[in-house]
Structure 1
Amino acid sequence: MTEVSSTRPLGVSRPDLAVTDLPAPEEVFKVSRIGPKELIKFAVGPSLIALGISIGSGEWLLGPQAVGQYGFIGVGWVITVSALLQTFYNVEISRYIMATGEAPVVGWGRVPPGYLLWVPLSVFVVIFAFIAGGWAASAGQGVYALVHGEVPPAGAEEPRLWAIALLLLVFLITAAARRVSRALELANWIMVGAILAGLLVIDLFVVPFSQWWEAIRGFVTPSAPPAGISATQLGALAGFTALASGLNWYVMGHYRDKGYGMGYRTGFISGLRGGRTELLASGVTFPDDEKNRKLWKRWYRLLLTDMWGIFFVGAILGMLLPTMLMARAVEMSGERPTTANVPTFVAAALGDEYGRGMFYLMLILGVLILFSTQLGIFEAMVRVTTDAAHGTSTRLRVLIEGDPRRFYYPFMLVLLVIIAVVLHLALPVSLVQWSANMSNLGALIYPFLLMYLNSRLPKAARPRWYHHVILVLNFLFFGFFFVNFIADFVGDPLVTF
């Protein structure tokens, strides 16, 4: 590591950032140059973990349910706006990670009044939003249908048992890894690639051109929401299109573990097969000189390639392709999806029309989609809590002897038990809608924390003025849906459609 020559203050209540040079991308990825092959093989990837989460709760459940009930016009436009705003937001979150090597949950502790408020609050919001386990329960429904060849009956226990088994599989995947982020990245290369390719082929086979045009037109045509759609349903669709609106930061820490920018200087969480690694409790930043300004521009271009070339394109395709299938399934079956049957509705409808082979193919894709979401969300809740505890508690670092795995894996097992209990409490899609609207709560808080932090980075890394404008738009767009959701939950919504 380049010698640390000084420190730089940033915010309050946290140690100053050490200052040292940015690494070159070639140094991080251990290649002589970053060409197209190296870009795909080594440099891009963290956005795939976010995309694996994205193509699940929103794209497979909430988007198709909304389109199946109300059509594309007025629904597709909300999807497009949400995807654009969230991708901009993700870039701004990742800007902070690249410039400091700190996970966002630790960085929030630098915002006044300090870490005693923001760090525990942020962990609580993430756990509270996602512990309902709707993503796990939905995956369990898909596995049940795959095993038995039929959709599960209402209230069946076996789908919940399959959901718990898949949570155990997540534990095994992370435990068997050398570097947890890399294992998740490779798993999502396979799953997301298979999902998008499979959906594209099936859409080309079963969806007529007129519905392709209707779907694309719905995605790009500004229009008021359709009459009858609820504030909760539309807010959930907005919140879980492309990821988790204001809470997207909970999964962006993978850029640190990938080694983007100063993340290379601060360490990563290794699997049980990996060697012991030290994860720095505080961040590191770079001096504002010509050499580091040039390196920063290179890292920023890699980030934009990963976010807009992989995440945004994948999120739009991941919503467009399943919603077209849902529209076709509704047309063929003459029925509309319900909260109870949406995880298996398309498989049942296409199976009736094209035979059992299509039924099982759709179930396999559905299970892959929902498991990729389950894998990312479950691990991210553990990761956020681990980063928060390790970064803020000297006593814990002494107790675990500086090895974050000694907290990460026991906490994962505790969380597994809690989710196994909670997912018995409601229908899967109802749980997902709750999580999505709680994600919109984050949009009322974190864009402003992010503006505070990013405006204090080294000059080369600071955002331009219009980046702040886009963060305010995130606050207004997703915050509106959260406020309307709360009003609807306690009485009457502020706005009805």
Structure 2
Amino acid sequence: MANDVNGPTVSENPTEYPLGVSRPPLGMADLPEPEEVFKVRRLGPRQIIQFVIGPSLIALGISIGSGEWLLGPSAVGEFGFVGVGWVITISALLQTFYNVECSRYVMATGEVPIVGFGRVPPGWKLWVPFSLIAFYFAFIFGGWAAGAGQGLFALITGRLHEEDEIEWVRLLAIGLLLVVFAITALARKVSRALELANWVMLSVLLGVLVVICLALVPWSLWWEGVRGLVTPAAPPPGITATQLGGLAGFTALASGLNWYAMNHYRDKGYGMGYRVGYLSGLRGEKTEIRSVGVTFPDTAVNRSRWKRWYKLLMIDLWLVFFGGAMIGMLLPTILMSHVVQTSGQTPTTANVPTFTAEHLGAQYGVGMFYLMLVVGVLVLFSTQLGIFEALVRNFTDSMHAVSPRLRRRIEGDPRRFYYPYMLVLIVVIGAALHLALPTELVQISANMSNFGALMFPFVLIYLNSRLPRPARPRPWHYVILVLNVGFFGFFFVNFAYEFIVGEALVQF
């Protein structure tokens, strides 16, 4: 078996496929048929909705609680749509392309991204710890749990919290993290439990937002919101690149760190993920996850099957994730704009999580106050659900892959590490909640996500260019990945300068 400039070539009957450095060669097996994976006779529209769509819902649940509920409405409430909306659209487009490339690797090898990164020179001893540090530094602060805690406090007491009651908000946030533990522990299959939870939460909150926006928001604001999303314009005066960077970073997930949510394509059984295994819950049967991925030989059968899997991936990411993210951004932002106009006030970093509920409640009664609080808690909890589980999952997956000693200790059952580590992480995040206000924590996380865009697109270019030929991207896909570096990297540089110097490098 030899290597060429375009990636490994394989013998007529290969048993392994070398890819990159410092990790064992991938195993070889045929791609499964989608019907085999999802246990159906045929895949029509109903079966796709029922069985195939899923990983994008988890990613969408994360997305809607950060950029869509906090940073987008905050920016639009203060500066308006024009000059802000185009950043949302460009970010969503670039990130969805980036998600495709992350998922391509998972689907072609069954390895989750953080494990695959260990194949990039100089090897896993650099890339696995570095990827974990970048991911954890962006998401360990628990800003979404803190924001959900604000809304939950108001639901319980019927009023917003006072400054001296912030500790109660943090305790409620920690309680919500324990709810995440319960959801995963009671599951038979963790990814499926997250999918179902997000089906329920997203259906409720988007349904409520559609009804409220149709009933309350004038059509002129609907048009202004749509026009802002598609009209290139200079950023509004007074906004900084750091503020725009937070919006860009958390529109449609987490810019350069989106890879952390793509593990679910393995657990869902997309492509070669079906050959590798999945993480089961405590109620499920013990399932082993292979420490090394599996890819497929370049045959006519596998080429045909790859095309089918790729089409299913496009449906999941472009129709559900991209479409949902754009709708999820439009509805809260036009509602926030309406509230700003009718109340004569603008949101602050301190009150964004409850701003809409407070002012709509003042205008339309206590029922509206509680309804919007429920929506806000569901939005932010869905995000913290996905992020918190991903913090545990990515650490578990990476340690399981690179540490034979850990695999011996847990006797092939990743749950024996996953759940104890989740409890440890609850304690760590509980301490991190005390560092700043919820929206400030989310802004830090968003700009640190932009940091990941400086290098991870290049890592994906290295990996995906070496996949079996049917799975490799087309040349223009590499161009899109480089555009991710330029777009999100610009915002991170501004954030880093402002963080170090104390003033904005670029202000419009």
Q: Give the CA deviation at 1:226.
A: 0.9
- 1:493 deviation in Å? 3.3
- 1:269 maps to 2:279: yes
Within the candidate set 426, 431, 439, 1:421 is matched to 431
Tell me whether 485-494 or 325-334 shows the greater mean CA deviation.
Answer: 485-494
Give me the whole-angstrom Cα distance separating, in 2, the residues matched to 1:257 and 1:225: 41
> In the aligned structure 2, how far is the partner of 1:159 from the partner of 1:254?
31
Residue 22 of structure 1 pairs with residue 22 of structure 2? no
- Alpha-carbon distance between aligned partners in 2 of 1:193 and 1:239, rounded to the nearest angstrom: 24
Write out aligned runs for 1:274-423 (5 A). 274-423=284-433
1:241-280 correspondence to structure 2 within 5 Å: 241-280=251-290
Q: How many angstroms does 1:233 deviate by?
A: 1.4
Find 1:474's aligned residue among 480, 484, 494. Answer: 484
Q: Distance in 2 between matches of 1:470 and 1:490?
A: 30
Gaps of 5+ in 1: none
Q: Which amino acid aligns with 2:85?
A: G
Q: Report if aligned partners of 1:440, 1:481 keep a CA contact under 8 Å in 2.
A: yes
SS at match of 1:271: coil
Preserved CA contact (<8 Å) 1:231 1:488 = no
Equivalent in the alignment of 1:64 = 73
For 1:23, what is the secondary structure of its paired residue? coil
List, as ranges, runs of 4+ consecutive aligned residues in structure 1 with deviation greater than 4 Å.
Answer: none
Cα separation, 1, equivalents of 2:377 and 2:293: 38
Select the residue among 100, 108, 115 that pairs with 2:124.
115
Shift of 1:158: 1.0
**Residue of 480, 484, 490 corresponding to 2:494:** 484
Q: Give how far 1:400 is off.
A: 0.7
1:203 aligned residue: 213
Q: What is the TM-score normalised by the length of structure 1?
A: 0.99
8 Å Cα contact 1:5-1:20 kept in structure 2: no
Match of 2:51 in 1: 42
Q: CA deviation at 1:22?
A: 0.2
Partners in 1 of 2:296 and 2:186 — Cα distance? 34
Query: Aligned equivalents of 1:472 and 1:62: distance in 2?
Result: 25
Q: Note if contact 2:240-2:506 (Cα within 8 Å) is conserved in structure 1.
A: no
Instruction: Write the deviation string for residues 397-436 of structure 1: whole angstroms up to 9, x where unpaired.
Output: 0011111011100110000000001101211100000000
In the aligned structure 2, how far is the partner of 1:45 from the partner of 1:276? Answer: 22
Look up the match of 1:141. 150
SS at match of 2:27: strand
Match of 1:496 in 2: 507
* Aligned positions of 1:75-94 closer than 5 A: 75-94=84-103
Distance 1:472 1:105 in 2: 20
1:218 matched to 2:218? The reply is no
Q: Quote the Cα distance in structure 1 between the aligned partners of 2:122 and 2:245.
A: 30
Output the CA distance in 2 between the equivalents of 1:420 and 1:332.
37
Looking at structure 1, the residues matched to 364 and 238 of structure 2 have their Cα atoms a distance apart, in angstroms, of 32
**2:16 corresponds to which of 3, 7, 10:** 7
Deviation at 1:9, TM superposition (A): 0.4
Would the aligned equivalents of 2:114 and 2:131 in 1 still touch at CA under 8 Å? yes
Alpha-carbon offset, residue 5 of structure 1: 5.4
Structure 2 CA distance, aligned partners of 1:96 and 1:123? Answer: 18
**1:465 equivalent in alignment to 2:478:** no
Post-superposition CA distance 1:214-273 (Å, at most 9, x none): 111001000111111122211110000000000000010000000000000000000000
Q: Secondary structure at the match of 1:152?
A: coil
Q: Give the letter for the 2:43 counterpart.
A: I
**Aligned partners of 1:282 and 1:391 also within 8 Å:** yes
Q: SS where residue 444 of structure 2 aligns?
A: helix
Letter in 2 for 1:8: Y
Question: Higher mean Cα deviation, 19-28 or 125-134?
Answer: 125-134
Distance 1:493 1:457 in 2: 42
Distance 2:163 2:338 in 1: 25
Paired with 2:455 and 2:154, the residues of 1 have a C-alpha distance of 40
* SS of aligned partner of 1:73: coil
| 3-state SS of 2:270 partner | coil
Distance apart, 1:332 and its partner CA: 1.1
How far apart are 1:494 and its partner, in Å? 3.1
Letter aligned with residue 18 of structure 2: P
- Distance between the aligned counterparts of 1:393 and 1:493, measured in 2? 43
Amino acid at match of 1:12: V
Amino acid corresponding to residue 272 of structure 2 in structure 1 = M
C-alpha distance after superposition, 1:161-209 (max 9, x if no partner) = 1100000000000000000000000110111111111111000011000
Aligned residue in 1 for 2:189? 179
1:453 maps to 2:463: yes
Unaligned stretches of 5+ residues in structure 2: 1-12
Contact 2:72 2:329 in 1 (8 A): yes
- Structure 1 CA distance, aligned partners of 2:163 and 2:71? 19
- State the TM-score, normalizing by the size of structure 2: 0.96
1:167 to 177, 190, 193: 177
User: How many Å apart are 1:213 and its aligned residue?
Assistant: 0.6
**CA–CA distance in structure 2, aligned partners of residues 480 and 152 of structure 1:** 37
Contact 2:14–2:297, Cα closer than 8 Å, also in 1 = no
SS class of match (1:316):
helix
